[in-house]
Copies of this chain bind each other. A is one copy, B any other.
Amino acid sequence: MITSPSNEKIKLVRALQDKRRTREAEQLFVVEGIRLVEEALRARAPIKLVLHTDDLDPRGQAALSELTRLDIPVETVTPKVMAAASDTETPQGLLALATLPSSSLLLPPSFSFALTLDKLSDPGNLGTILRTADAAGVEAVFIAPDTVDVYNPKVVRAAMGAHFHIPIVEASWESLAERLAGLEVWLAEARAGEAYHQVDWRQPCALIIGSEAEGPSAAARRLARHGVHIPMPGQAESLNAAVAAGILLFEVAKQRSRRSRMPRTASRE
């Protein structure tokens, strides 16, 4: 049992929680909590080390048994050590270090529904957008330069498993131009471009969402052939970036579900 927060393994976990540089150097990120570790197991994500307290609930115990069965190194720690290793205020007693996926292997050979995130700085917002993309059936997520690290622990927690379900790839604008070739690229704007519900989203498409504070970057404008916005009949000046992403991505999902599930006749709506 690890009883000291100055244990080398705990220091490594702490550095992985706090520093992008360490995550990149070690090619590891922290997966915290029972539900997320279950998602990692389900996705067969390569796990290098597991820490747990000895008071896990039955669900946590089940995950731990599976990790042990897979010959993954497992260490028991005291609650105090878990608190030192954890990024949350109330740790669930289970934490894993997973290998960063290699982006070249991640991407499917072709995709028709991509999302690009441009300069988002709030980890909670970025994580919520990834969770939403995962729900809407987005096939590939690209992270443009100057965006918060997708393996930041707050992003990983808010994304609730999206990291294990969809390819999330960091890319320069040059590489994005190549990777999105063949898709219609739409830039979400505050008030410019087409109304989102008047766009035909059944075509292969990529949507670019920028930061709330700064708006779309110049590179995003160069890449996108079209602008799209959400008409707002009320008084608010703008929407939260994750809420806007949800409205746009689920318009795409809705239009595509109609294509596959019903003939194209005028519906009730």
Contacts and interface: CB of A to CB of B under 8 A. Distances in A.
Interface in A119-147: 124, 128, 131-138
A234 to B, nearest CB: 4
Contact of A246 (B233, B246, B265): B246
A93 B245 CA distance: 32
A86 B136 CA distance: 39
A237 B165 contact: no
Interface stretch (A57-65, A76-84, A177-185, A248-256): A248-256
Contacts of A237: 160-161
Given A200-B268, A243-B132, A250 B230 contact: yes
A238 interface: yes
Given A239-B131, A242-B242, A246-B246, A233 B269 contact: no
A266 interface: yes
A245 B244 CA distance: 11
Contacts of A268: 198, 200
Interface string A34-49: 0000000000000000
Nearest to A252: B233
Contacts of A235: 134-135, 161, 165-166
A265 B240 CA distance: 32
A213 to B, nearest CB: 12
